[in-house]
Amino acid sequence: MSDLFDTLRNACASEWQAYTEHAFVRGLADGTLPEACFRHYLGQDYLFLIHFARAYALAAYKSETLEDIRQAAAGLSAIIDVEMGLHVEFCNGWGLSESQMAALPEAEETMAYTRYVLEKGLQGDLLDLHVALAPCMLGYAEVGKALAADPATKTDGNPYQAWIEMYASSEYQEFADVEKQTLNRLMGTRGGPGRMASLSESFRQATRLETAFWEMGLNP
């Protein structure tokens, strides 16, 4: 069986390139992204993670096997018990407290992608939900790895180097690999040729919404 993530990514190659090579990403790479833009992005990303946790709770509800329930519960725990704490600590270094971020109004772009993911999960099955989540989870892994490996990426004195290292880290890359395996497993048990058109469209739309999230970051 071919890799589902590769198939979905190749089916929307132009949208994927616009996402992973966005001006926001280039600004992270060379350190030229205005700090106000990054702070705006960080605050919205905190709100995003709250809904990401809700998506994992929905994944548990949508699960039909104990294995899937355990995986969803582990993902939920990782977000609320580990990732949120790391994100808050990281944001503190940028002068953003958790109370400040929790009080922020949601940007339209934040609402658009998070509600899209939840809608796909409510409307469809566990495979639909994971496909809608994939551009975020796997896209960040691809961006982090690519920036870390690119000799043109500024490392000395780059205020965003820690962000790049976080998503290029072996821990996050392993997390992404598990998600790729999950997509393949779910496709094997729940999918088939008849589902590819719908899954590809969901992935394409989620990729566009991720691109809009970067764009939101450029306009604080």
Cα distance between residue 197 and residue 182, in whole Å = 19
Given the residues 15, 142, 179, 210, select the one marked as catalytic: 210
Q: Is 160:28 a contact under the CB 8 Å cutoff?
A: yes
Instruction: Give CA–CA dist 46/217, Å, rounded.
Output: 13
Q: DSSP state, 81?
A: I
Would residue 136 show up in a list of annotated catalytic residues for this protein? yes
37 in active site: no
Assign 3-class secondary structure to 25-39.
Answer: HHHHHHCCCCHHHHH
Taking the C-alpha atoms of residue 30 and residue 153, their distance in angstroms, rounded to an integer, is 6
Of the listed 91, 136, 142, 179, which one is catalytic? 136
Q: Is the Cα dihedral 18, 3, 189, 53 positive or negative? A: negative
What is the rounded CA–CA span in Å between residue 218 and residue 26?
A: 12
Residues designated as active site? 136, 210
